[in-house]
Amino acid sequence: MSEMPGEKCILVTGGSGYVGSHSVVELINAGFSIVVVDNLVNASMESIRRAEQITGQTITSYQIDILDKPALADVFSKHQFHAVVHFAGLKAVGESCLEPLLYYRTNVCGTINLLELMKEHSVCNMVFSSSATVYGTPQYLPYDEKHPTGKCCNPYGKTKHFIEEILKDICTANPSWNVVVLRYFNPVGAHSSGRIGEDPQSVPNNLMPYISQVAVGRQKEVIVYGTDYDTRDGTGVRDYIHVVDLAHGHVAAIKKMSEDCGYKIFNLGTGKGYSVLEMITAFEKASGKKVSNCDNTSLIHPSL
């Protein structure tokens, strides 16, 4: 979709991914022109084609890794961006523990490439896709934006924390920059059209797509362990937010920049937790399908 006179163009890195593709749809619905860059490691360009079907718009997209600075620079030379919404990065907690250097290089170094090009082209507005993992072990609950950060439990969370610190320093050094950091809790759900949703390329790391794959027979069962937590039913409790609500948050963040907001942080969640067993039960009720799960003595998929 080419930029129209007066239309603000947004670069969306990682725009083919789960949260990225839903945010692309909502940004277009809000009247923005969108350019997507994605290396397609954890996504497919099919999500962009479906976003085009939903919005009735052609979306300019490039298969580019943000570690490839010359290729990324070429994109900046072709478009005049109002802001960047930065989703691109690796996000599997378990993998980050096994491959920390990969995560630091991809997430931190890739972001530095992006920021250097933004500075070079005088693009000073960014929405950053961060995570509640930056809080680490809770000192109190529920988390709020004043909760201390930095004591992260895994390299993935540390990369998000390090990037936040870089962005804060940039805004301190140059008041013309506006950065909105969005700390997600646990995105779930899909677009109401059913055309886009969470579709992992391999075994899911998150609960809801794993439940979905059990329901359709791609996985045998949801293996639940940790049944002795101090919760309603003994299973882990998390705050889940619908992905379209999350996408609306990115639109609001872009609009916030018109106020010369400087550096701002917002948690994106519901403030209400649901347990693993409650999520399974809710899925069964909504879908009409029975989801097989193991008893308390079994092992578990580590992310569940």
Active site residues: 156
Helices (H) and strands (E) in the chain, counts: 10, 10
The one-character DSSP state at 125 is: E
Distance CA 300, CA 296 (A): 9
Quick one: which of 139, 169, 132 has its CA closest to 154? 132
Q: How far is the CA of 115 from the CAs of 14, 108, 131, 139, 173, in angstroms?
A: 15, 11, 19, 32, 14
Quick one: which of 114, 213, 212, 208 has its CA closest to 166? 114
Helices 243-256 and 18-29, axial angle in degrees (round to 10): 60
Distance CA 113, CA 65 (A): 11
